[in-house]
Amino acid sequence: MPLAGTNHLRALAGPILIIMILSMMVLPLPPFILDFLFTFNIAVSIIVLMVSLYTKNPLEFAVFPTVLLITTLLRLSLNIASTRVVLLEGHTGPDAAGKVIEAFGHFLVGGNYAVGLIVFIILVIINFVVITKGAGRIAEVSARFTLDAMPGKQMAIDADLNAGLIGEDEARKRRAVISQEADFFGSMDGASKFVRGDAIAGILIMLITIIGGLIVGVMQHDLELGAAAKNYTMLTIGDGLVGQIPALIISTAAGLVVSRVTTDEDLGEQVLSQLFNQPQILVITAGILGIMGLIPGMPNFVFLLIASILGAIAYYKIKHTTTQLPVSVAPEVPSIEKIDASWDDVLPIDTLGLEVGYRLIPLVDKAQQGDLLKRINGIRRKFAQEIGFLPPVVHIRDNLELRPNAYRITLKGSVIGQGESYSGMYLAINPGRVTMQLPGTVTSDPAFGLPAIWIETVLREQAQTTGYTVVDASTVVTTHINHLIHSHAAELLGRQELQKLLDHLGTQTPKLIEDLVPKLLPLSTVQKVLHNLLEENVHIRDMRTIIEVLTEHAPQTQDATELTAIVRSALGRAIVEQYYPADSELQVMSLHHELENILIQVMQTGGAQGTGIEPGLADTLLKEARSAAQQQEKLGLPVVLLVPGAIRFLLAKFLRRALPQLRVLSHSEIPDSRKIKITSMIGGNK
């Protein structure tokens, strides 16, 4: 209950504060309350400045645009309240509006209202023309660039999610951060207009108060013009200064927040680490100041003093850097012993391997903050969740025969993919809608062949704002590996992986596995069925259904191709949902009935192995299938061909090499509840 009460009070704090600020515009306030509120306003502005100095990311101070609006309203309300007191009580003396206004009017400008007027105008000009205008422009540009960069950042998040580098929760958090960044800079752009309006209002209020004070003092209180001018002008200047100094502090805080580059350091750490971190620059600066300090007529002491300080800092930096240098130790050369050859020299071939050039070793070295191993484990985990079995471990080794930045991916000793990745640089991939070209090394994405450019780290933000998808060196390699293991999933399911899969399933349903293997089917046949499914991008997550179907039909047939067709029919709903969302219409390609009849005859005469199709017919079929697939892609539809079950395997095998994007489904795999629409007919003109 106490916690609920506290939360309730916090919820009321905002509305109460706004109502009190607006009330000050119409209700008279005594001088003591004005002193308290002016002091509170100064304290709030200093707190805001300190928070802006110590934030490492603008979103850590996401409430800043709202704070900017509230403090602006507070200053305007105080101006109105103090103006009322000045006009009503200004004839009584310089402390008529409280001690704070009196102090700012006398102590800060020495009681000289001409000096005070000039100082006030200078402060307003600095705030209005320099700080507020600059901060507003930065916020405006940042808001535009942040919005432009959102698609690229979203694609980068999707790429990391698909590669298994992050989970759904982390992806959701990153998307929320991107949205908050756009909202923050957009709000800052709008909030800066309030500050500029406040500066203009300050000048107008000052002029109105001075003129009104002279009229009230001379005509109502019978003061001399000089006395009236002194009293009311000093009070007005004190009032203006006590409002403009907090406004200047708040505007400075706004400029600091929007001009920050996000790092893991606060502003003080950034300045010290970047401005005073190079001793050679300090030495040159100290030398120039020292030479200027030796010129007759110059303020020699000041120049030489600062030159000495900079020289001392440079000396300390050089000495500190020298003491931190590691001592190189010559590596111990191992002794070479004569050892006879043995069977231990026959090394097994790795199922999955990654060979890297020597410049990519930092990516896999944990001591050098390399995260490639962690990312590869992530894509193996995601592969297991999506496909249904755990792929083999990726064995990584360096290969001095490769180019320094090259890598290659092997499957059972054969190279299935290769590329180059540059540690410390970023790959900017062109998804087709970039707004400008960037300087860098032109290349292509190793995984998908998209045009890309290797860029320096400093160009990362610019690349994202211009529409590129930007990924680091580790992501390039892991995305390539992820793409290849999905493409070669069938080859990765060996006897050992299948046995581990069955053992894992057997811990949950032991009787189901015992009834199938080896009583009804040998392990090799089960492996062949799963291999056929994976070869056509059908996941095997639903192993329970697969085992049940095989157990039911194994007594009737031992043929892996027939069993695969039966399993596919049982998995039909999951297969269809891979390409068409639930309840959506299936817009597919189909075969002309005459062509279907011809292909059925081919199957009956031994064409199941793809060797019985007459060359002329095969060429025509391939051309028309390619044309229909291109038309399907132009419509933005999945490239799916719907055929009778008797010829599905023949067509899938025949078209797979020429049209890898094509998926061939049979009528028996389509659930009865799904609607089908034929978008094109293959063989209709023949």
Q: Are 682 and 655 contained in the same domain?
A: yes
Closest CA to 683 of 607, 615, 600, 593: 593
Q: Are 67 and 173 contained in the same domain?
A: yes
* Span 339-350, pLDDT tens digits: 567 777 777 888
Q: Which two tokens stand for residue 80?
A: 């109105």
Pick from 152-166, 264-278, 589-603 the range whose average pLDDT is largest.
589-603
Q: Are 565 and 590 contained in the same domain?
A: no
1 part of a folded domain: no
Q: Domain end: 545, 570, 595, which one?
A: 570
% of the chain exceeding 70 in pLDDT: 82
CB atoms within 10 A of CB 394: 21
Query: Whats the size of the chain, residue-wise?
Result: 686
460 part of a folded domain: yes
CB atoms within 10 A of CB 363: 25
Q: Are 54 and 183 contained in the same domain?
A: yes
* Span 396-439, pLDDT tens digits: 998 888 999 999 999 999 999 999 999 889 999 998 888 888 89
On the question of pLDDT at 628 being above 90, the answer is yes
Strand order in the sheet with 414-420: 394-398, 352-356, 406-411, 414-420
Q: Are 396 and 458 contained in the same domain?
A: yes
296 part of a folded domain: yes
Q: Are 501 and 594 contained in the same domain?
A: no
H or E segment and range at residue 356: strand 352-356
DSSP state, 360? G
**Distance separating alpha carbons of residues 421 and 444, to the nearest angstrom:** 11
**Distance separating alpha carbons of residues 10 and 3, to the nearest angstrom:** 11
Residues 6+ apart with CB under 8 A from 582: none
CATH number, domain of 603, equals 3.40.50.12790
**Distance separating alpha carbons of residues 591 and 644, to the nearest angstrom:** 9
Q: Are 561 and 439 contained in the same domain?
A: no
How many distinct structural domains can be found in the chain?
A: 5
Q: Domain end: 570, 596, 616, which one?
A: 570
pLDDT tier at 684, thresholds 50, 70, 90:
low
What is the DSSP track for 382-446?
A: HHHHHHSSPPPPEEEEE-TTS-TTEEEEEETTEEEEEEE--TT-EEEE--S--SS--SSEEEE-T
* Span 296-341, pLDDT tens digits: 777 777 778 888 888 888 788 777 665 544 444 444 444 445 556 7
70 part of a folded domain: yes
Q: Are 311 and 414 contained in the same domain?
A: no
Q: Which domain holds residue 540?
A: 493-570
On the question of pLDDT at 610 being above 50, the answer is no
Amino acid at 240: G
Q: Does the reported pTM lie above 0.75?
A: no
Q: Which two tokens stand for residue 323?
A: 């003491």
Closest CA to 387 of 534, 504, 529, 502: 534
- Would you say 154 and 178 are in contact if contact means Cβ atoms under 8 Å apart? yes
Closest CA to 83 of 239, 231, 252, 187: 239
pLDDT tier at 391, thresholds 50, 70, 90:
very high
Closest CA to 497 of 522, 526, 538: 526
- What pLDDT is recorded for position 92? 66
* Span 654-671, pLDDT tens digits: 998 889 999 999 999 999
Amino acid at 393: V
**Distance separating alpha carbons of residues 216 and 195, to the nearest angstrom:** 30
On the question of pLDDT at 608 being above 50, the answer is no
Q: Are 51 and 172 contained in the same domain?
A: yes
Q: Are 144 and 176 contained in the same domain?
A: yes
* Span 204-215, pLDDT tens digits: 777 777 778 777
Mean pLDDT of 285-295: 81
Q: What is the dihedral of CA 224, 230, 232, 236, to 10 degrees?
A: 170
Q: Are 452 and 554 contained in the same domain?
A: no
552 part of a folded domain: yes
Residues 6+ apart with CB under 8 A from 626: 658, 659
**Distance separating alpha carbons of residues 31 and 94, to the nearest angstrom:** 12
pLDDT tier at 569, thresholds 50, 70, 90:
very high
Residues 6+ apart with CB under 8 A from 450: 429, 430, 431, 444
- What pLDDT is recorded for position 368? 77
- Would you say 383 and 391 are in contact if contact means Cβ atoms under 8 Å apart? yes
CATH number, domain of 566, equals 1.10.8.540
Q: Are 205 and 59 contained in the same domain?
A: yes
Residue 246 dihedral angles phi and psi, to the nearest 5°: -60, -35
Mind spelling out the 3-state secondary structure of 375-390? Answer: HHHHHHHHHHHHHCCC
Q: Domain end: 427, 455, 489, which one?
A: 489
First and final CA of the chain: distance in angstroms?
Answer: 81
